[in-house]
Amino acid sequence: MDRQVKFVEPAKLYGMIKEELDAAYYEVMSKGDLIDRGQLKRFEENLAAFVGTKYAVGLNSGYDALHMSLRAAGIGAGDAVIVPAHTFVATASAVVNVGARPVLVDVGKDFNIDCDRVEELLATADRDGEGRIKAIIPVHLSGYMADMARVMELAERYRLVVIEDACQSLGAGMERTNTVHRQQQAGGDRQEETGAHHEARRRRKKLAKQSGDLFGEATGAVAIGAAAPKATVTGSVSPAPEKISDGWGRAGSWGLTGCWSFYPFKILGGYGDGGAITTNNPEIALFATRMRYNGEDRQTGEYHGHGFTCLLDNLQAAFLDVKLRYLPQWIIRRQAIAARYRAALSDLSDLLLPHYDDPRRDHVYQNYTVRSRQGNDFSEYLKSRGVEVLTQFRKPYYRHEALKLEDRDFPETEALSREVCSLPMNVEIADDEVDYVITVVRSFYGKT
């Protein structure tokens, strides 16, 4: 084995911003700010501003965000919820664990839920009887949003609550249509977009400006440049998050809630698990804030129901707040790496690359997931030559008997499960490591 290229290197990334992370740790520990303190509130404010919503509520995991969102929306026993057949099992498990029934729908070539199949299902579904479809959870997989303009149109037509599983796509965006999007309330009522959205956009721009000032300082720019030199960009790169116009809507700002995971390997990862929801609905935010702490209103001491213990740790919030300031430039780095992969691998006919050329959407490349006709032979070849890759969902979750889910035939998901392979994609990877990955991939196909 000539060398090794890691899929991610958390220790290397820590070294790139060590001074700021250590300062965040010292602030928390020296003050004893361990649970529900100012660092959490500050991160929630900054996350909401970044996403473009009025509220964010820190939780213990991405699963908790999904679970809390469903409960806040009033989804429960006797209800059905549309979820993609190709996703992590937590999307469906959250539905099951509130007593509802997941209805699986196949995905398209971009790995996201196929809205044509959704429309076919909704057109024939029982709209009023027991088990009526009440909600849909589009998943924005690998850093690329589902077609939210279409999802929202279908939700309006069929009176569905929309909960975005955006756990893999923080920073991704999509063009909004001219239609006024409505923010859905629990119980199916809807409220038109209000001035809160304008304020969120103003705050987002302010945050981006602050981030830009920060990145100009020597401590941040030099550390990142030294650890991971910028890739040479070939081809077009989507606009950086801070430059996306008001005509764009970020992932997590379209539905009733957006659900986030800060698992260590996510595009914004903590040093332990974590999650959040974003929303423009004050009642949803208040519900989640109370229920995450056993149902208690921390200001009054009054209990408002039997809740859970799923609060985002204050220390994790402090770390995440540091990383969030770097996220815009880290997304640019990911897009540059993706552009290099595209330029070097586009001539391989048996390898389908994750570039969709949809001007309505951008891609932040949480993962760079390719499809190889050779399946496991391809991924095993890379691993044997020191390239650490991820091969998720080789067995689709609905085929696990213990989950007792309905398999209604999902051909695209079945093909994806055989073919997917995620190449190393992280901000800490060096250019020569990207070159090595490209060399190994091309050698598998007999190319130099």
pLDDT digits (tens, 9 = 90+) for 288-315: 999 999 999 988 999 999 999 999 999 9
Report the alpha-carbon distance of residue 409 to residue 312 in Å, rounded: 38
Structure tokens at 12: 């290397």
On the 0-12 / 13-18 / 19+ scale of CB atoms within 10 A, 71 is buried
Scored b (16 or more CB within 10 A) or e, 80-105 reads bbbbbbbbbbbbbbbbeebebbbbbb
At which residue do the structure tokens 């960009």 appear?
233
Predicted confidence (pLDDT) at residue 234 exceeds the cutoff of 70: no
Predicted confidence band at 208 (pLDDT cuts at 50, 70, 90)?
A: very low
User: What does the angle CA 344 – CA 389 – CA 112 come to, to the nearest 5 degrees?
Assistant: 80
Predicted TM-score (pTM) of this structure: 0.85
> What pLDDT, on the 0 to 100 scale, is given for residue 248?
83
Predicted confidence (pLDDT) at residue 144 exceeds the cutoff of 90: yes
> What pLDDT, on the 0 to 100 scale, is given for residue 177?
75
Predicted confidence (pLDDT) at residue 409 exceeds the cutoff of 70: yes
At which residue do the structure tokens 């549309």 appear?
82
Higher pLDDT, 234 or 92: 92
Of 130-139, 265-274, 287-296, the range with the lowest mean pLDDT is 130-139
Interval 173-195 mean pLDDT: 50
> What pLDDT, on the 0 to 100 scale, is given for residue 1?
59
Higher pLDDT, 377 or 204: 377
> What pLDDT, on the 0 to 100 scale, is given for residue 217?
27
Interval 184-191 mean pLDDT: 38
**Which residue, 128, 139, 153, is CA-closest to 102?**
139
Whole-number average pLDDT of the chain: 86
Q: Is the dihedral of CA 146, 9, 24, 210 positive or negative?
A: negative
Predicted confidence (pLDDT) at residue 416 exceeds the cutoff of 60: yes
366 Cβ contact partners less than 8 Å away, ≥ 6 residues apart: 142, 143, 168, 169, 170, 266, 267, 425
CATH number for the region 16-327 comes to 3.40.640.10
Predicted confidence (pLDDT) at residue 129 exceeds the cutoff of 90: no
> What pLDDT, on the 0 to 100 scale, is given for residue 127?
62
Predicted confidence (pLDDT) at residue 199 exceeds the cutoff of 60: no
Distances (CA, A) of 46 to 28, 183, 210, 272, 278: 18, 21, 11, 20, 11
Higher pLDDT, 129 or 431: 431
Residue percentage of the chain with pLDDT more than 70: 83
> What pLDDT, on the 0 to 100 scale, is given for residue 238?
33
Predicted confidence band at 171 (pLDDT cuts at 50, 70, 90)?
A: very high
Q: What are the sequence ranges of the domains in the chain?
A: 16-327
Interval 351-376 mean pLDDT: 95
> What pLDDT, on the 0 to 100 scale, is given for residue 226?
25
Interval 111-131 mean pLDDT: 86
> What pLDDT, on the 0 to 100 scale, is given for residue 69?
98
Predicted confidence (pLDDT) at residue 61 exceeds the cutoff of 80: yes
Of 125-129, 208-212, 370-374, 378-382, the range with the lowest mean pLDDT is 208-212
Are 384 and 371 in contact, with CB atoms under 8 Å apart? no
Structure tokens at 186: 């629990």
> What pLDDT, on the 0 to 100 scale, is given for residue 298?
87
